[in-house]
Amino acid sequence: MTIKDTPEQCEVRATDTPFVGNKTSVRTDDVVMPDGSVVRRDYQVHPGSVAVLALDDEDRVLLIKQYRHPVRQKLWEIPAGLLDIPGENPLHAAQRELYEEAHVKAEDWRVLTDVYTTPGGCDEAVRIFLARNLSEADGERFEVEDEEADMEHARMPVDELVRAVLAGELHNNCLVVGALSLAAARSGDGLDALRPAEAPWPARPFES
C-alpha cells in the first residue's frame, strides 16, 4: 500500500459563509459522510501562505519575533506571509516576504515542504521554502507596521534550533516544520535533492 495523501471530495448539500473578514472568512458546509450521514462543518477559508527558512553561510537560520494575539505570545518565527493575489507564484511571494521582513535576498531557492496547518478547521496551505546564499537586499528597508513594528531579528545555528524545538521552547508551526524538515533532508538525500523552487503545488495552483 502506498502511503500518500489523495484528493477526495465529499458531497456538500448546503453551504453558507456567516463571517467574512479582512483576509479570511468562515464557511459552514453540510457534508455527506461515507456512511451517508450529513454533518455540519465550520472552517476558516484561507488564501494560503508561504514561509522561508533562510540558511546563511554559517549554518544559522534567520529568525524574527513578533506578537501573535490569538495565542497571547511573542513567537520566534521564520519570515512568512499570505498569498495576497489569487494564483500568485509562491516563490515570488516568498522572495517578497524575505525582503520585507528581513531585508535579505537569496540566490538559491528550493521547496522544503508543503503543509496544511490545521486541516480539521482551516483550509490554509503553506509552502515552506529553503533559501540559501543570502545577502542584504538592495534599496531602502521596507516600512513595517502593526505586529511587525517592534519585530526582533536573530540568527540561530541549526543544531540549536532543532534542540529548542524538541525542548518545547519554540512553537510556531512553520518554524517547527521547517527546522525538522531541514534536519531530515540533511540526513537523507541532502539539500540539493529537494524539489525545485517552482515545483507544482496542487493545493494552490499558480502560473510560472
Decide: 131 and 94 in contact? Cβ < 8 Å: yes
What secondary structure letter does DSSP report for 159? H
What does the pLDDT average to over 8-28? 95
Residues 61-97: tens digit of each pLDDT: 999 999 999 999 999 999 999 998 888 999 999 999 9
- State the cell numbers at 92: 515570488
pTM exceeds 0.75: yes
Distance, in Å, from the CA atom of 196 to the CA atom of 175, rounded to the nearest integer, reads: 20
49-196: what CATH class?
Answer: alpha beta
| C-alpha cell of residue 118 | 490545521
Residues in the chain: 208
Q: Where in the chain is the domain with CATH 3.90.79.10?
A: 49-196
Q: Is 96 left (phi over 0), alpha (psi -120 to 50) or beta?
A: alpha
Contact call for residues 195 and 111 (beta carbons, < 8 A): yes
* Model confidence at 202: pLDDT above 80: yes
3-state secondary structure of 139: coil
Report the run of H or E that residue 51 belongs to, with start and end.
Answer: strand 49-54
Predicted confidence at residue 46, as pLDDT, reads 96
Using one digit for the tens of pLDDT, what is the confidence trace for 31-58? 999 999 999 999 999 999 999 999 999 9
Task: Indicate which residue of 148, 152, 198, 207 is catalytic.
Answer: 148
- Is 148 considered catalytic here? yes
